[in-house]
Amino acid sequence: MQNTLSPEKYIRTKARQLPIDKCYINEGWDECGECTIIVCRKHSNNNLTFGIYLVDIFCLGLKDSLYHFNISAVEFDDLMNTLSEQGDFLEIEYPLAHNIIYGAIEFASDYEFNPHKSFQLTQHILEEDTDDIELIEIPFGIDDQPAVVTTDDDPQTHIIKKLTKTAGEGNFLILNADLSVIDEDCEIDEYSEELLGDYSDYSIDELINGLQTHKDNLTKTLGLICELYIRMEGEEKFDELSLKIFALFKNLEITGDYEKEGLEFVPKEQTEHLYYLQALVFNHAENAIEECEKTVKKSPHPIYYSLLTSAYEFNDMHDKKNEVIIKAFDLFPESLSARIHYGYYLFNNNKVDKVEMFMSRFNPIKIAPRQKVFHINEITGIVNLACLFYTQTNYLLMATVYEQLFDSFTDLPEFVYEQKLNAFQLLCKKQMDYLIQIKQN
């Protein structure tokens, strides 16, 4: 009697003798970081044995794999149709599939992540990893750093803990997939001071239709969702809160001029150097750290510490940034800029519950009672932090008030505009979740 090999034994011993047939990968794999790769081998009866490989090219490498043995072309087509319901697949050449799988495994191994145990079998559907395979350069991680993708339901604590150990704090990225409500392909109008626009004259139906019509325009999407959220939550409640919060900022003297009388920054003889450092930090951050460190040592002042903080941040030196923030607040506890930076430090280091009281409920007069004139960067720093705080703590109506307040400021530096855009997108995600929940109920 002829012995019939089990599928597992056949794959281990004979799969590589079958010719490679078609290979597939999910569309957009290089942007989302998650790859589903299918590698097929054809039997002499035209049936297929193939492996399906779930690969994380941002960090974790081969997360899982499975195989199907000796199935017909009809069964394979049915499976592909099922998989395609979750997204389109592209046909690719085998060397690309091979390089992605083995390259991701090698990248992940640098941070002590091993391929899933199923790979002990499914690797035999692939060619051996030798120099005979064409080498293709694949970017792994984000900017060569590992990146872990979290969700609100799965914060990936154990992975972050391991990366802290293997990569080092500040040497990896944390991305929250739940904050990607806006399509990454959305376009932004040319640089605009106001992001939200005025949709107060729109009916609810017009707002909903507008979201479909302008789904590829980020600024319009942000504005339409904001207005729709206000309508659903209650315009009277929103107006009442707005009057209260806007009043805190209404009579402030706000300037963009560092030399404005009453604005307690550096002595006038240092103003030129201040402008030089500011331009260096925001245009050539990689060259700014040494100059900022020298300046802080020679002339310790909150604004110089603030610029050094930004220089470290732009160079992804997060531990150094935090050290400077803590030191600046210890030295200058009454400085508004030092307090604002420390507020962000609390927010970004799992001390969100302390932020509101520390920032005197984001009232600039109570934060800095002796200050008569405020720089626009100080005010937008407070307002941005308030928007982030109330978004994070799910007081979305208050966050929306600060969103509207933030949008009312004009003549902003580009980096502040980017802060505004980021904060609005985070809030927009939660506003949209709220609207979806209302619809479902």
Per-residue pLDDT of the chain (441 residues; tens, 9 = 90+): 345 789 999 999 999 999 999 999 998 888 778 899 999 999 999 999 999 999 999 999 999 999 999 999 999 999 998 888 878 899 999 999 999 999 999 999 999 999 999 999 999 999 999 999 999 999 999 878 898 876 655 667 678 778 878 888 678 887 655 444 334 444 434 434 566 778 888 888 888 888 877 777 777 888 888 888 888 888 899 899 999 999 998 888 888 777 777 666 666 667 777 777 877 887 777 778 888 899 889 888 888 898 999 889 888 898 999 999 999 999 988 888 899 999 999 998 889 889 889 888 899 989 888 888 888 888 999 999 999 999 999 999 999 999 988 888 876 777 777 788 888 888 888 888 888 877 665
The per-residue DSSP string of 121-180 comes to: HHGGGSPP-STTSPP-----TBTTB-EEEE-SS---HHHHHHHHHHT-TTSSEEEEGGG-
* Residue 338 and residue 306 in contact, taking contact as beta carbons nearer than 8 Å: yes
In angstroms, the CA 123 to CA 67 distance is 10
β-pair partners for 38: 24, 52
- With residue 396 as reference, give the H or E element that holds it: helix 396-408
* Residue 10 and residue 34 in contact, taking contact as beta carbons nearer than 8 Å: no
| pLDDT of res. 179 | 41
For residue 85, give the 3-state DSSP assignment: coil
DSSP 114: P
| pLDDT of res. 264 | 62
| pLDDT of res. 184 | 40
Tokens 């997360």, residue located: 63
Cβ contacts of 19 within 8 Å, gap of 6 or more:
41, 42
* Residue 223 and residue 196 in contact, taking contact as beta carbons nearer than 8 Å: yes
For residue 273, give the 3-state DSSP assignment: helix
**Cα 62 from chain centroid (whole Å):** 23
| pLDDT of res. 140 | 93
pTM (two decimals): 0.56
* Residue 90 and residue 25 in contact, taking contact as beta carbons nearer than 8 Å: yes
Query: Between the CA atoms of 14, 15, 20 and 25, what dihedral angle is there, to the nearest 10 degrees?
Result: -170
SS (H, E, C) 190-203: CCCCCCCCCCCCCC
Cβ contacts of 295 within 8 Å, gap of 6 or more:
273, 277, 304, 307, 308
Domain ranges of the chain: 7-125, 147-179, 204-264+333-440
In angstroms, the CA 385 to CA 376 distance is 14
Phi, psi angle pair for 52, to nearest 5°: -115, 125
Cβ contacts of 112 within 8 Å, gap of 6 or more:
162, 166
* Residue 61 and residue 108 in contact, taking contact as beta carbons nearer than 8 Å: yes
